[in-house]
């Protein structure tokens, strides 16, 4: 149960108002020009379906489809952000962005550079799937200016990973750190076969690996997600009470190495803020979200792109208003903005000072 009824949790993104309040329409490029400091690019493609996943993703290794989608991204960015607009932050999320081939990555970044000015870029973040163990790709990402890898580990235990349709972990963290990347890692608490012993082992590994930050997400599935979880043979996940207990244990274990910032986020530096994308650098406080299902946040305005891949690509290339109406907007009023600020402050304060109360309320 959430503390405030006007906050909607959708997967790992937290939206300040219910999606039912969003309206269709369009907004001036000047609005984006004034406020956009970061660009989020959603790359939905994955190699396989993880049974816990409810994010906007597509299982496909078809490079032609990948490149057609990249063309749609280029057109959306060109049509919605002014030519050579300067941005400070760039974030590739998914899906599994690291699943793209190097030629597709080149196509993507070159098209963005044709439209936007990246000379001021201080943060370039990519979500990285540990299966994409490829030294050549890591070197390429470094060469195009990627500064941070956010690695979706979920758990170190091979039994836990196999049960949710993931391979044993083989990622070379030391090599990635040697190349100069800032390293972050995501973990899920609540997966079948997790227990006190596996959590203790997880904590020891985290403390000894070169992570700059880690984030823990409680496993919370919709009714549709619960159906898929069982359909894929992953069994029964942990109860909420067990999840809260483990999150409290994690909090106590990590305080010797990391600073807590709430929402299961721990870092060695205090350089992050919370947005629709979770905890990100300040460069993303106001950002434009490109791609299927993406959200944008610019001041009091929230924009959502079409959530189905075919609807998104059709809307990008179409001229008729019936297709364009699939883009939805909501403008927060002063009361809603204040409620949002107070909500996050309350959650953050509880999460740092008393995480057990926080997680009990949040879950």
pLDDT the model gives residue 4: 32
What contacts 338, CB < 8 A, 6 or more positions away? none
C-beta of residue 212 within 8 angstroms of C-beta of residue 269: yes
Provide the residue-wise pLDDT of the chain in tens; the chain has 363 residues: 223 333 333 334 455 555 666 666 555 445 555 556 889 999 999 998 898 888 888 899 999 999 999 999 999 998 888 888 888 889 999 889 999 999 999 999 999 999 999 998 888 999 999 988 788 999 999 999 999 999 999 999 999 999 999 999 988 899 999 999 999 999 999 999 999 999 999 999 999 999 999 999 888 887 777 877 887 777 888 998 899 899 999 999 999 999 887 778 898 876 555 554 555 555 566 788 899 988 888 777 888 888 889 888 888 887 544 444 567 777 878 887 777 777 667 766 766 666 666 666 666
DSSP secondary-structure letter at 360?
A: H
DSSP secondary-structure letter at 4?
A: S
pLDDT the model gives residue 32: 54
pLDDT the model gives residue 10: 35
Secondary element (H or E) of residue 183: strand 182-189
pLDDT the model gives residue 360: 63
pLDDT the model gives residue 281: 59
Long-range contacts (CB closer than 8 Å, 24 or more residues apart) made by 57-65: 57/94, 57/95, 57/96, 58/95, 58/309, 61/99, 63/101, 63/103, 63/104
Distance CA 93, CA 152 (A): 11
Least Cα distance to 293 among 308, 277, 278, 315 occurs for 308
C-beta of residue 102 within 8 angstroms of C-beta of residue 138: no
Cα 251 to chain centroid, rounded: 22
Q: Tally Cβ neighbours within 10 Å of residue 4.
A: 14
- This prediction's pTM: 0.87
Q: Is the CATH code 2.40.160 the one for domain 8-362?
A: no
Least Cα distance to 82 among 29, 34, 26, 27 occurs for 29
What contacts 337, CB < 8 A, 6 or more positions away? 300
Cα 157 to chain centroid, rounded: 23
For 9, 41, 148, the CA distances from 233, given in Å and listed in that order, are 25, 32, 34
Beta bridge partners of 149: 126, 183
């Amino acid at each position: 149960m959430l503390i405030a009824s006007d906050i909607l949790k959708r997967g790992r993104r937290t939206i300040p108002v219910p999606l039912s309040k969003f309206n269709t329409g369009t907004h001036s490029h000047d609005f984006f020009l004034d406020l956009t400091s970061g660009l989020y690019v959603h790359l939905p493609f994955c190699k396989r379906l993880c049974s816990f996943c409810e994010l906007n993703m597509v299982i496909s290794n078809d490079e032609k489809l990948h490149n057609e989608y990249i063309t749609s991204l280029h057109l959306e960015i060109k049509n919605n952000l002014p030519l050579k607009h300067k941005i400070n932050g760039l974030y590739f999320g998914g899906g599994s962005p690291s699943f793209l081939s190097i030629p597709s990555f080149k196509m993507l970044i070159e098209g963005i550079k044709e439209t936007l000015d990246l000379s001021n870029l201080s943060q370039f973040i990519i979500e990285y799937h540990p299966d994409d163990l490829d030294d050549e790709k890591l070197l390429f990402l470094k060469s195009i200016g990627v500064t941070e890898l956010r690695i979706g580990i979920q758990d170190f235990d091979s039994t836990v990973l196999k049960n949710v349709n993931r391979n044993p972990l083989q990622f070379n963290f030391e090599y990635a750190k040697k190349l100069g990347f800032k390293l972050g890692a995501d973990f899920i608490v609540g997966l079948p076969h997790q227990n006190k012993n596996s959590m203790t082992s997880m904590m020891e590994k985290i403390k000894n690996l070169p992570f700059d930050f880690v984030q823990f997400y409680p496993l919370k599935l919709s009714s549709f997600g619960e159906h898929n979880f069982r359909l894929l043979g992953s069994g029964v996940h942990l109860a909420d009470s067990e999840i809260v207990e483990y999150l409290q244990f994690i909090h106590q274990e990590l305080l010797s190495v990391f600073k807590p910032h709430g929402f299961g986020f721990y870092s060695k530096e205090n350089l992050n803020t919370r947005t629709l994308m979770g905890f990100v650098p300040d460069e993303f406080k106001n950002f434009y979200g490109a791609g299927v299902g993406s959200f944008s946040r610019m001041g009091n305005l929230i924009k959502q792109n079409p959530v189905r891949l075919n609807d998104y690509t059709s809307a990008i290339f179409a001229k008729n208003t019936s297709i364009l109406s699939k883009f939805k907007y909501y403008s927060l009023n002063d009361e809603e903005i204040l409620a949002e600020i107070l909500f996050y402050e309350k959650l953050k304060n509880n999460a740092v000072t008393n995480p057990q109360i926080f997680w009990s309320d949040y879950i």
